Amino acid sequence: MTENNPFPIVLDRLILRPLEASDEERVVQLAGDPDSSWGTRSITYPDSVDRAASWLREHMDMMKKGESLSLAIILKKNLTLIGAVILFYELRHERAEIGCWIAKSYWSKGYGTEACRAVLHYAFNVLKLNKISAYCLARNIASLRLIEKLGMKFEGCLRKHLKVRGIFEDLLVYGLLSEERKE
């Protein structure tokens, strides 16, 4: 880690590092679990296995172009990839959207919260962004809890906005302004 390249970010239990081509097998494996991928907007089961490889390439390309921060979430104790946290930039407007997914076997352990807090810190303190948004399916209770733990405020509901597994789903919108955050 250097001043110009702050990655990897080493946390108490996790390491956050840019996604790499070598992550493809693990990302495909995790995306093949319908429970792990059901709540995401971009890797949706049953097409998740085919979609996972292109998702990885797209995110690596966006990071190279400076359009996103696309980080693998790695368990520090055994260096296992357990998910990803993504920050999509709109630097002209000093804002971004945060997204996170964690493999089912690692749910309810606080890993998503730990990773997202680190990325929010980076977004507000290094990138000097004014606002971070998060979008979540209304029935994804675990993600809603994570978003609320981050201190984000409810901003609205996009009714029947996405079709997931043949069902139109409401998409909730949350936001956090720089002046609202608590470190």
Residue 144 in any domain: the answer is no
Residue 36, domain extent: 9-129
State the residue for tokens 């995110």: 59
Rounded Cα distance between 66 and 48, Å, is 25
Residue 48 in any domain: the answer is yes
pLDDT of residue 150: 97
SS3 86: strand
Residue 112 in any domain: the answer is yes
Pairing of β 95-102 and β 131-137: parallel
Rounded Cα distance between 124 and 49, Å, is 34
What are the pLDDT digits (tens) for 127-148? Answer: 999 999 999 999 999 899 999 9
Rounded Cα distance between 105 and 60, Å, is 25
Rounded Cα distance between 24 and 88, Å, is 20
CB atoms within 10 A of CB 76: 12
Residue 149 in any domain: the answer is no
Residue 13 in any domain: the answer is yes
Residue 138 in any domain: the answer is no
What are the pLDDT digits (tens) for 73-96? Answer: 999 999 999 999 999 999 999 999
The CATH number of residue 78's host domain is 3.40.630.30
What are the pLDDT digits (tens) for 10-48? Answer: 999 999 999 999 998 888 888 777 666 656 655 555 555
Query: Domain tally for the chain?
Result: 1
Residue 142 in any domain: the answer is no
Residue 71 in any domain: the answer is yes
Asked if pLDDT for residue 126 goes beyond 90, the answer is: yes
